[in-house]
Structure 1
Amino acid sequence: MKTLKSLMLGLALLVAGTAANAATKIDGENLTKNFAINTYVDAMTRGKLQGFSDVVDQSAKFSMLRGKTVLSFGKTEIVDQLKANKNTEQDCITSTSVVESNNDLAVVKVDMKYSTFTRSNYVTITNTGNGWKITNVYSVFK
């Protein structure tokens, strides 16, 4: 009887673990505008990278204006930089506002206000057919 209870408990844990893992899998249906922006904000301000690679399109471009120089990066470079700073909480107040939104794309302004400057990120999210993905981010420092 003790073996049967242990076996049933083990089977129940296996089923529960499998169901929980399936629920966290990201597919096109889960890639909404809000999910993409929330995942971006979590990655940039809290170092939480879960799902970030899924919401960024392979051809995404990240640009930032530094003085009179524009620096550009691809998805791989941004993901590598974020991994190097994983779980690092930024000391800033973050706010978002929708600049433009329709059925095909959205531009969302993500302001990260630090004590001495503000980083404004203009994030373009596109309906790729496989869900909403980040295709362009342009950052300006004020």
Structure 2
Amino acid sequence: MAAEGLGSKTVKANVNLSTADLALDHYVAVTTKGESAGVEQLFATDFNQKIQASNAQNHSRDAVIKSLKKQKGEKLNCAVNTDIIQESADYMVAKVTLKFEDFTKTDLVTLVREGNDWKVSGSINAYK
């Protein structure tokens, strides 16, 4: 049993983020299905999250990653819909809608190509 956990903290999963669609799918898995592999790899170094609500909030890359790691394995009970709003060779804006029983969360996600990988560079959340 003790050998089972050896090295698990030092091994980092390498997630395939070679296309915008793969990066968007992984973002959805991380934020709604509790996926934790490749979380650091997914977000650009200048990532920022804004939450539009009565008390608007901003969250840094490190704060978002820390929060998502705490949610490892937790699946949100919601219907997920993704729409590509704009796409080019190095840039994508997608709208991710999470429909819960009592409210809806809309997440506008900006992805950019950095070298051979796509990364999430921004996220703006609104609630209804």
Give the TM-score normalised by structure 1.
0.76
Which residue does the alignment assign to 2:36?
A: 49
Offset of residue 52 of structure 1: 2.2
In the alignment, is the contact (CA less than 8 A) between 1:31 and 1:133 conserved in 2?
A: no
Which residue does the alignment assign to 2:73?
A: 87
Residue 134 of structure 1: SS of its match in structure 2? strand
Which residue does the alignment assign to 1:35?
A: 22
Gaps of 5+ in 1: 1-20
State whether structure 2 residue 11 is matched by structure 1 residue 25.
no
Question: Pick from 102, 115, 119: which aligns with 2:88?
Answer: 102
Which residue does the alignment assign to 2:8?
A: none
Offset of residue 54 of structure 1: 0.7
Paired letter, 1:91: N
State whether structure 2 residue 60 is matched by structure 1 residue 63.
no
Q: Percent of aligned positions with the same letter in both sequences? A: 22
Which structure 1 residue ranges, 4+ long, deviate > 4 Å from structure 2? none
| Structure with higher helix content | 1
Gaps of 5+ in 2: 1-10
Paired letter, 2:14: K
Paired letter, 1:83: K
Counterpart CA distance in 2 for 1:39 and 1:110 is 12
* Superposition pairs of residues 107-126 of structure 1, within 5 angstroms: 107-126=93-112
Counterpart CA distance in 2 for 1:119 and 1:41 is 13
Alpha-carbon spacing, 1:26–1:48, altered in 2? closer, same or farther (3 Å): closer
What RMSD over aligned residues (CA atoms) do the two structures have, in Å? 1.7
Which residue does the alignment assign to 2:7?
A: none
State whether structure 2 residue 66 is matched by structure 1 residue 77.
no
Give CA-to-partner distance per residue, 1:48-89, whole Å, 9 cap, x none.
Answer: 01122212111100111112x321111110111111121111
Give CA-to-partner distance per residue, 1:70-118, whole Å, 9 cap, x none.
Answer: 2111111011111112111101000100010011210000000000110
